[in-house]
Chains A and B, each alone.
Chain A
C-alpha cells in the first residue's frame, strides 16, 4: 500500500484506525467541532484531537426528537452518532460558538448525555478579529487549557505547547505543498483523493501524519497527472463538506476539483500559527487571522477575495458554492460572493445540500449543466 492508499484508508473509516490505535495505547482522545478550536492545546496534553464528523450517517431519527428539521443536517447527524454511541470512544467534546446549530448541539448533549461526555466544553470565540478580540479569545483559550489540564491531569507546559504548534505548522506547510501540486495543469490527485488525505489528518496524531504526508508528496512527484477533465473546479462554502463521495459525484461528471475554500480544506490550514511569548495570544491571533468563516462579521470582502484568489491561483474554470441547508452564515455570504465572482468573470454554481448524499441525482444534473456552460464559455 502506498502512502496515498494508506491515508485514504485512514480517512475513510469512523472511527479511524488511528483513533482506535491511540485509544488502545491507553491515551485520551477528544472530539472537537469547528476549526476555531485550537487543537494544539489538546495535542500538547498528549490528547488526540479528533475533528468531529458523522460519515455515513443515513438517518437521524433519534436526533430529530431533539433537534428540528430546521437544523443543519450535519449537526443532526453528529447528534445521531452521539446517541448511537458512535462517539463513545472519545473522552470528551469541545465546541465553540461557531454557529447556532453547533452551540445548541453542545447544549443538548450537556442536558441529555452528560455521563456519556464527562468533558464537555464550549470556547467563546469573538465575531470580530481586532486586537481586543484576540485578548478575549486568548482568555477563553487559557480557561480551556486549565480545564483540560485539571480534568485529564495533563501536562500542558509552554514547552509542550510550542512543540505541538511546530508539529501543526509543519502539517500546514505540507498540506499547502499538496495544494500547490494541484495547481499544475495535470494535477497528480483528484479532489476526492485530496479530501481523503485531509480527513486522515483530522483523526491521527500530527507527527505521524506529517511523516506520511512527506512520503506522499515524494510519491506524487512521480505519479501521472490527470488530464482528462472537462473543467477545473473549486468547491467553496459551509462546513460539513467532508464526504469524498460528494466530490466523486462531481468528478465523475468530468470536473476536477483543484482547490477549495472549506473548513474541511484550505481554510483549516492555510495560515501558520505565529509563535510569540504569550502562546494563548499567539494561538488566538493566528486563528483569528485565518481565512474566515462568515461567523466573523468583519471579513465579508476578504472572504470573497479569498475564494477569488484561490480560484485564480489554481486556474479554476468555475466555483461550486455548496451550503448545508439552513446554514445561515454561508447563505448570507452568497449575496456578496456571487456578485464578487461574477464581476471577476468566475462562473459560480450555487447549491444547497444535505449532509448525507441523498440528492445526488439533482447534483449530477446541475453539475452537468454547469460543466456544459463552462465548456461553452
Chain B
C-alpha cells in the first residue's frame, strides 16, 4: 500500500534537515544559524504529535496572535510558514495544481498549497482555522470556503479598514469572541494564569526583539540575509512561549557583541549594497539571497514580512488589558499593518525600513496574487525615489511557485538592476 504523505511531518523533517545541514557545514563558526531551525523542528514535533497527545490543532494565518493559542493548549500551525517551507523544499507545485482543478489559477498560491494538500488528504484537518480580515482578498476568499468545504470551525478577526481610536476596542472584542470559540474547541475555559504566563514570555521576547531590531540597523549588517527573513516563522509560531524569549535573549547578546566589535555578516568592504525587501521574498528559492551577497555584495538587511514593530503589552494585569494589547499587536503584525488599509500604510512602513536600515535599494518581490500591492506598486516606487532617491526593483513572480518566474530570470533582473543603478 502506498505510504500517505503528511505535509506536517514533511515540513518538520525539512526543518530538521536544514538544522543538521547547517550544523555540519557551519555549526562551528555559526551555531546561531541553527537556532531558528531547532525551534521550528521542535515546534513541528509538537504539531505532529498533537493528534496523539490529544491537543487541538489550529491553522492560523499570518496575523493571528499565537499567545492565545499557546495559553489555551492549542497547537498553532502558521499556514504561511507551512506553505512557504513546502515551497522552499520544492514540494508545493503539485498542491498548486491540485487546487487549480477547483479554484482559479490567480488565487494566491499560499492558499492553493493549503487547499491542494487538504484536497489530497495530505494534511490533517484542523480543529479550527483563524485569520485576520486584512490584508487580502485571497485569504477572505479561500479560508472560509475551505472551512465550509471540509466542515470545521472557522473564525475571522475582523477589523475596521482605517486605523483609528475605535480599532483596538473593536479588535479586542473580536479576540474575546475568538477565545469563546477556542473554549468550545478545547472544551475548557481560558486559564488566566496561563494567559498571563504566555504574555510574560511574549513581552520578554518582544523587548529583546525590539533591541535586536535596533542593532540590526548597524553597518555592516550583523544579520545574514537569510536570518533577516527567517525569524518571522518563529515569532508567528512561538510568541508566548519561553522558547522564543530564550531565542531572542541569546540573539540579543550575540548581536550586541557583534555590533560592538564592528562585525557584520559581510565585512564593511564586502557589503556594497543594503537591500530592503519592501514586500515578499523568493520563498521557493531563498538561496537567491545568498547569491545576492556573493555576486553583488548586496545584503538583504530587512524584510517587510519580518518587520515586527509592535510594542510589548504593557498591562497584563487583567483580561481586558491583555486583549487590548493583543489587539494592537494584531493590527500591527507584518502584512496586516502594511497591506491592509490605505496604501500610505505600506508606503510609510517602507520609508521607515529604508531609512532605518540605511538601505540603498528597495526590492518589491511582487507576488502575482497580491493584487492590492501590484495596484499601487508604481505609486510606492515613485514615492521612494522622490523622497529618498532610492531605486526599487519591481519583480513579477510567484513567491511559492518557480514556474512563473524562475530563479535564473530573477538573477538576471538583479544583474540589470545593479548595472543600471550602481554601475561599477
Contacts and interface: CB of A to CB of B under 8 A. Distances in A.
Interface of A: 65-68, 70-72, 75, 97, 99-101, 103-105, 107-108, 111-112, 122, 124-128, 132-133, 136, 139-140, 294-295, 297-298, 300-301, 323, 325-326, 328-336, 338-339, 352
> Which residue among A104, A124, A328, A336 has the maximum number of chain B CB atoms within 10 Å of its CB?
A328
10 contacts: A66-B379, A70-B369, A70-B374, A72-B371, A97-B161, A101-B372, A127-B140, A136-B166, A328-B140, A335-B102
A104 B148 contact: no
A73 to B, nearest CB: 12
Given A328-B142, A338-B102, 19 more contacts: A67-B374, A101-B375, A103-B342, A104-B343, A105-B375, A107-B342, A122-B161, A126-B160, A128-B156, A139-B166, A294-B145, A297-B154, A297-B158, A298-B156, A328-B107, A331-B106, A332-B145, A336-B145, A352-B104
A300 B376 CA distance: 30
B142 A332 contact: yes
Given A297-B144, A328-B106, A100 B375 contact: yes
Contacts of A111: 343, 379
A134 to B, nearest CB: 12
B242 interface: no
Interface in B367-397: 368-369, 371-372, 374-379, 396
A127 B28 CA distance: 51
B133 interface: yes
B138 interface: yes
B36 interface: no
Contacts of A339: 149
> Which residue among A99, A101, A103 has the maximum number of chain B CB atoms within 10 Å of its CB?
A103
A132 B160 contact: no
B153 to A, nearest CB: 12
A70 B144 CA distance: 23
Contacts of A103: 161, 342, 372
A100 B137 contact: yes
Contacts of A97: 161
A125 B342 CA distance: 14
B138 A332 contact: yes
From DSSP, what is the main secondary structure of chain A's interface residues? Answer: helix
Given A97-B161, A124-B160, A295-B137, A334 B103 contact: yes
B371 A328 contact: yes
B170 A329 contact: no
Interface of B: 102-104, 106-108, 111, 115, 133, 136-138, 140-149, 154, 156, 158, 160-162, 166, 170, 173, 342-343, 368-369, 371-372, 374-379, 396
Contacts of A329: 137, 140-141
A133 B148 CA distance: 21
Contacts of B108: 328
B60 to A, nearest CB: 15
Nearest to B135: A100
B376 A104 contact: yes
Nearest to B106: A326
A335 B146 CA distance: 8
B343 A107 contact: yes
A31 to B, nearest CB: 19
Contacts of A101: 371-372, 375
A300 B145 CA distance: 6
Of all A-B residue pairs in the complex, the 8 with the closest CB atoms, nearest first, are A332-B141, A104-B375, A124-B161, A100-B372, A68-B374, A328-B137, A331-B104, A107-B343
Contacts of B148: 300-301, 336
B12 to A, nearest CB: 28
Nearest to A64: B378
A328 B379 contact: no
Given A122-B161, A326-B106, A332-B138, A71 B371 contact: yes
A72 to B, nearest CB: 7
A65 B381 CA distance: 12
B140 A294 contact: yes
Nearest to B102: A335
Contact of B103 (A132, A298, A335): A335
A112 B154 CA distance: 39
Nearest to B174: A132
B145 A335 contact: yes
B132 to A, nearest CB: 10
B340 to A, nearest CB: 9
A108 B375 contact: yes
A3 to B, nearest CB: 39
Contacts of A326: 106, 371
A121 B158 CA distance: 21
A294 B158 contact: no
Contacts of B145: 294, 300, 332-333, 335-336
A32 to B, nearest CB: 16
A335 B137 contact: no
Nearest to A100: B372
B160 A136 contact: yes
B106 A325 contact: yes
B217 to A, nearest CB: 29
B228 to A, nearest CB: 27
B103 A127 contact: no
Given A66-B378, A323-B104, A104 B158 contact: no
A124 B162 contact: yes
B374 A71 contact: yes
B166 A127 contact: no
Contacts of A335: 102-103, 115, 142, 145-146, 149
A291 B396 CA distance: 36
Contacts of B111: 332
Contacts of A301: 148
Contacts of B162: 124
A37 to B, nearest CB: 14
A247 to B, nearest CB: 22
A320 B141 CA distance: 20
A111 B379 CA distance: 8
B116 to A, nearest CB: 11
A323 B104 CA distance: 10
A67 B375 contact: yes
